[in-house]
Amino acid sequence: MDTDPYTGETLVEIPNANASDLDEAYRAAEQAQRQWGTATPHERARVLTRAADIMISRHEEIVDWLISEAGSTRTKAEMEWQVSVGITQEAATFPYRTEGRLLPIDAPGKESRAYRQPLGVVGVISPWNFPLYLTQRSVAPALALGNAVVVKPAEYTPVTGALLLAKIFEEAGLPGGLLNVVIGPSEEIGDAFTLHPVPRMISFTGSTRVGRRVGSLAMTGPRIKRVALELGGNAPLVVLDDADLEHAVRSAVVGRFLHQGQICMSSNRIIVDARVHDEFVERFVEHVRTLKYGDPRDPAVAIGPVISQKQLTAHLAMLKLAQDTGAKQLLGGDAQGLVLPPHVFVDVNNDSAFAQSEMFGPIAPIIKVTGDEEALRVANETEFGLSSAVFTQDQDRGVRFALGVEAGMTHINDHSVDDSRSGPFGGEKNSGLGRFGGEWILHELTRDHWVTIQHNKGTYLF
């Protein structure tokens, strides 16, 4: 049963898939991919272009679904729609950007070629926080490059995480069998989704705990598979002593509270130099007080509901953990349904379980440090390494700091919640493997096939 997290209203009832349904989906994808993999670049690009056009024409419908099903505020829903259209338009260029190579070889009369070919079938497991985009960033490039796809969306967002996209691609003229959706609990089809012999790659976005299992199954199952894992984060947002505080505050508020903090790139720890700490905190709290929370359909609302009661319970436990570890609460409030008001804490110890946890809720820990060296050390003292940010008015200083951060991405004078259709999106350490976006995803979703041609009769040793 699919429900609205703010109203509790039932949106749609969907029967769960079983192991037989999963096998049927993969087999259909395998069969359809054989012809799709040999389709012309024009044929594949045309489908992707039409899909983007349909997403534009159905803008309001898509945004409404993101608000109703994922609890997105209108601002976040509009942002997600925009980047989803963007990645679809980018993917439409991929059929014309897939190139092989002629390679030098030290053998007279012999030719060496590297062909770039589709992988075959790609399995996509997507999350509930940015369901449309975090599904489409794998689905659209995979299809554009000649693959077929089977999607398992998160249980909270089956429509925006898969079914809506499937309908859009159907309307865009994608041949049958190339995009299949299986909806069901992980306890029943989760392991089987990865272990099935058909997919050559599993693209997973979600928690580090589940990602570890997906990666393990992909490597130890009957057929070794490629994996792309975009996992948890604990992004540091660092404010150095020369930062423009007004700019840093506004960026930090967005980086922490956008979509109720339910973003893997969210600015999870705000690390502030002691010289500007008190002023930053004063301005930060003052600005957070102005944030309206409640019904995500209200365009003025900045913070809507968290996705489920399970998540709210976890956030309430995190608030208790903050108090137990000595953090001082400056702002907070009681939950109203699944809407948790923004919470701000100072005197946070970076070694505490509170600071080291991925919040995934509207809770902001602020950590005081002294100097760039300590700021960098604290920023890196985490098992995660997805996104990060640093604020300084000295660009060179910012670049030096950024290059010292153990993360896949660092944004100077901007918050940590950033993605680009052409950038190498991905993490280090326990935040994952592989890269999404641009040339990077093109290589992730294709394989190199080395072919040599001996034009002359060779000389053999025996």
Is residue 376 within 8 Å of 405, Cβ to Cβ? yes
Cα distance between residue 39 and residue 308, in whole Å? 43
Q: How crowded is residue 27: how many other Cβ atoms within 10 Å of its Cβ?
A: 16
Q: Could you confirm whether 24 is annotated as catalytic?
A: no
Going 81 to 290 to 387 to 201, the CA torsion angle's sign is negative
Cα angle: 329, vertex 335, 340; to 5 degrees: 70
Closest CA to 126 of 148, 153, 86: 153
Burial of 286-297, coded b for 16+ CB within 10 Å and e otherwise, reads eebeebebbbbb
- Catalytic entry in 30, 69, 80, 264: 264
Token pair belonging to 56: 């534009």
Marked catalytic residue, from 69, 80, 90, 230 = 230
Q: What is the CA radius of gyration of the chain?
A: 24
Q: How far apart are CA 55 and CA 82, in angstroms?
A: 9
What is d(CA 348, CA 236) in angstroms, rounded to the nearest whole number?
Answer: 13
Residue 294 backbone class (left: φ over 0; alpha: ψ -120 to 50; beta: rest): left
The sign of the torsion formed by the CA atoms of 36, 37, 40, 42 equals positive
First to last CA, the chain: 70
Helical (H) or strand (E) element with 285: helix 274-289
Instruction: Note if 264 is an active site residue.
Output: yes
β-bridge mates for residue 102, sequence order? 113
Which residues belong to the active site? 230, 264
